[in-house]
Amino acid sequence: MLTTSSDDLARLGGTTSAQVRKDLSFFGSFGKRGLGYSVPELSSRLRDILGLGKQWKVCIIGVGKIGAALASYQGFAERGFIVTGLYDSDPEKVGTKSGAVTVRDTDELERDVRSGKYDVAILTVPSENAQEIVDLVVKGGIQAILSFAPTQLTVPADVELRTVNMAMELEALSFALTNRTNGR
């Protein structure tokens, strides 16, 4: 039978075997002592835990460079995130197509969210406009937001917000480069 051990997983994930076991044990105990974890079972259990079998309706708000790149990103579909809407406030962009999806006007966004078209909103708008868009989709009843705007956003507790902050990564790199002990 195909199995793997917490030690294998730790090496792959860049962590320790104790960490792997503690983390997994949070969701139950699906390993076998002396043997390890059944790969198919572990895989299936993790899929269930992460909800990767489900499908989520997603809109991307802001069809700039990053928004456009994301619109064709395969990783979304692979994880059940189906991009069914694109929005932009620029009249030049409204009506154009990206893949099979037509760009709609941001004016229609709140109504569309309210009508249940989307579970998740992906934000690729300038920082200045980010909070107002957030308020809009929250008002419409969105469940989760993934933001790429490098700014602190506020949402009610029942809305899941995650931020990918490139600017912060760059500043962390800059800090590390500036303060490295060895001069290489």
22 lines the binding site for DNA (CB under 7 A): yes
- Looking at beta carbons only, is 35 or 99 nearer to its own copies? 99
Which stretch, 22-30, 77-85, 128-136, 172-180, contacts DNA (CB under 7 A)?
22-30
- Looking at beta carbons only, is 31 or 85 nearer to DNA? 31
Interacting residue with DNA among 16, 72, 102, 174 (CB under 7 A): 16
Q: Which residues are paired to 88 by β-bridges?
A: 105
> What does the alpha-carbon distance between residue 19 and residue 10 come to, in Å, rounded to a whole number?
8
Letter for the amino acid at 170?
L
Chain contacts with its own copies (rule: CB under 8 A): 12-14, 49-52, 54, 56, 65-66, 68-69, 72-73, 75-76, 79-81, 119-120, 141, 143-144, 146, 150, 152, 154, 158, 160, 162, 164, 166-167, 169-180, 182, 184
Interacting residue with DNA among 31, 67, 85, 140 (CB under 7 A): 31
- Residue 72 interacts, among DNA, its own copies, none and using kind-specific CB cut-offs from 5 to 8 Å, with its own copies
- Looking at beta carbons only, is 1 or 100 nearer to DNA? 1
- The sign one gets for the Cα dihedral 41, 42, 43, 45 is positive
45 lines the binding site for DNA (CB under 7 A): no
* 8 Å CB contact between 153 and 159: no
Whole-number Cα distances in Å, 92 to 42, 63, 86, 96, 103: 48, 11, 14, 8, 10
* 8 Å CB contact between 3 and 38: yes
* 8 Å CB contact between 5 and 36: yes
* DSSP character at residue 100: T
- Looking at beta carbons only, is 21 or 57 nearer to its own copies? 57
As to burial, measured by CB atoms within 10 angstroms (0-12 exposed, 13-18 middle, 19+ buried), residue 142 is buried
Interacting residue with DNA among 35, 46, 50, 52 (CB under 7 A): 35
* Interacting residues toward DNA by CB under 7 A: 5-7, 15-19, 21-22, 24-25, 29-37
